[in-house]
Amino acid sequence: MSKKTDAAAIPVGKLTPEGAEAELVRLAAAITRADEAYYKNDRPEISDAEYDVLRRRNLLIEKRFPKLKRKDSPTDKVGAAPSTKFKKSKHAIPMLSLDNAFNDEDVVEFDKRVRRFLGLGEDEPVHYTAEPKIDGLSLNLRYDQGVLRVAATRGDGQTGENVTGNALTVDDIPQVIKDAPDVLEVRGEIYMSHEDFEALNARLDAEGEDQFANPRNAAAGSLRQLDAAITASRPLKFFAYTWGELSEPLAETQWYAIRRLKKFGFKVNALTKVCKSVDEMLAQYRKIEAERAKLGYDIDGVVYKVDRLDLQERLGFVSRHPRWATAHKFPAEKATTILEEIDIQVGRTGKLTPVARLTPVTVGGVVVSNATLHNADYIEEKDIRAGDTVVIQRAGDVIPQVVEVVSDKRRKGARKFKFPETCPVCGSHAVNEVNPSSGKADVDRRCTGGLVCAAQAVERLKHFVSRQTFDIEGLGEKQIASFFEQGIIKEPADIFTLRRRQEKGDIDLYAYKKKANGDLALKDGKPVPTNTKSVQNLFDAIEQKRSIASPRFINALGIRHVGETNARLFASHYGGFDGFYAAAVKARDETSAAYQDMLSIDGVGALVARGVIDFFDEAHNREAVDRLLKEVTPEVVESISSSSSVAGKTVVFTGTLETMTRDEAKARAQSLGAKVSGSVSAKTDYVVAGPGAGSKLKKAEELGLTVLTEAEWAKLVKA
């Protein structure tokens, strides 16, 4: 496919509005897929560096075409659902991730964003703290009356895993604090030093146990042990750097709040510094980067935070990260190796992904043997061939990417890779789909086999039981693949009939004891199963999932372009799965009110709508869903419950606001449960008009909508 027809290959500055819209859809799908692979399945498909590039391109396009910005951006997500192995602990205040900066210009822009939001000029002082970004596991410690009561991991940002017993074994975590506020939540990072990591791996090797790939994995794996005695035997450390719920403020600035945490007995990073300008921030970044190799623990960047806590409160949060902080990431690590072969893998959506099989090489302390090659255009653009010496890049514990070919080391007669036009699994045609919004072909090639393709079927089932969907304990990827191969599970509904079929004798999930001569061990003339408990535990885990939140149910179906974010949008808009299902069937007719209503959902464009319609247009998909609904009940989505007078209302801001910036006004409205829209329609409840309001005000008056001044709006939201 020609790169000229691919919006992904066009620089942001040269994109047309039509191309930008298509590219934002592609980026949303790519980011969502990457999030699912990393957070849900623990099987990352792209490197941190490539993931950051996707997010950065998305941000640049949104800046250039602000009217096309997707409010449901997949970047507005944090972490993954907590494991069912631990009790859950809901965070009083969400644990969010950080926005990223990748170069000096990004840091300058971060400072400008802060000033624009606050309405401050370039000469007005804004101080920041700069501290190392620890590469470990985030932990929230709750103290009531000075006593540690709950320790919880980040989880999905809203709910984490309760690991209190394990945290009590970590020397750096005080169990009792003197002179602490009645309620104090301390947040920081569990990590392991390089020296301790090497010693732990040496011990595990001597004991014949599997070793950890890197210190971060070792720290996370050690804290998330069901046996606290194992955690106690591991050399874990903890840095404190922020807080959650408080009964009283710790200080007036970030710097003095951190000093107070130190007085409470927590270890804080000595490299933290207050910076009075962007130049000082960048100088501290370079100082920390220069000392990185000597620190004795892993860091992957520097975090900048607005120092004044009252300004932090004004800046607030977007759904995924605070506006008052950003992480300035270090460059990715690289290595050189041989690309031995190029294989094709088929994913659950039919995407054919080329994968480089490498001569194993160590990059940043981790041995890697696979790298993503993305798509046919990527291979062609970089002229990648089997046998080439290549430079690979990774950042974090993920599959790396091939960034360039060492051309002067290419062997003679090396042939170009020919991307297959048929699926290597089922033999169906592989095509580049056309985007209905732009009329242009997608960069990715996909198998047209659908459910007749075994690769897609098994990958869809893996997705169905992954963490952010049904999350069935004991039914992971290996079990799904095995059950599928045996014909025990062919579609989602089969999962929920396992117990009935086992009891009827239609299937047999047990493994059996054998005698020394290989014969089955018998008791009362019947074989003796070895894993009765594990099978019964699986059945019990499945029973617990017969009722599930509608967003998870929708996401689990694996509909093209519908991931976690869009699933939440659909569930919210239609009040649950039943309304969504009915609307999707009616929306087949693009002239129907149902189709137009689906497109009216902020963040759902023609491409997403077409994915939904195409899915439910297939009789076999509807039949599979109907069979599943006989086993599972998606929960109804309750309407917004809030004491705010504007909860659930749609608001449009227009004109110049005088007491706060537009961003502050939107953020405040959303925090009260209102929906902020960029356009006026008959569904708009309030139009807040300031000086200079134009066409939006005129349309509101024509429709007879409620128009408020800024003062009237302020009075309404305080009522």
Q: Which residues are catalytic?
A: 133
Bin 119: left if φ > 0, else alpha if -120 < ψ < 50, else beta: left
Nearest partner of 446 among 348, 526, 592, judged by Cα:
348
Report the distance separating Cα 501 and Cα 142, nearest Å. Answer: 46
Q: Round to the nearest angstrom and report the end-to-end CA distance of the chain.
A: 58
DSSP secondary-structure letter at 226? S
Report CA-CA distances (Å) from 204 to 201, 610, 632.
5, 52, 43
Q: CB count, 10 Å around CB of 156?
A: 19
Tell me if 342 sits within 8 A of 417, measured CB to CB: yes
Q: Supply 279's token pair.
A: 């130049």
Element (H, E) at 540: helix 532-543
Rounded distance, CA 186 to CA 240, Å? 7
| Residues counted in the chain | 719
CA distance 178 to 77: 36
DSSP-based three-state secondary structure for 49: helix
- Residue 184: phi, psi to the nearest 5? -140, 120
- Which tokens go with 125? 């002082």
The Cα–Cα gap between 478 and 290 comes to 43
Tell me if residue 113 falls in helix, strand or coil. Answer: helix
In angstroms, the CA 351 to CA 433 distance is 11
- Three-state SS at 132: strand
Q: Which two tokens mark 328? A: 């300035």
How far apart are alpha carbons 254 and 312 in whole angstroms? 9
Q: How far is CA 219 from CA 209, 396, 528, in A?
A: 16, 14, 40
Residues 353 and 443: beta-carbon distance below 8 Å: no
How many whole angstroms separate alpha carbon 80 and alpha carbon 154? Answer: 8
**Residue 710, φ and ψ in degrees, nearest 5:** -60, -40
Element (H, E) at 568: helix 564-574
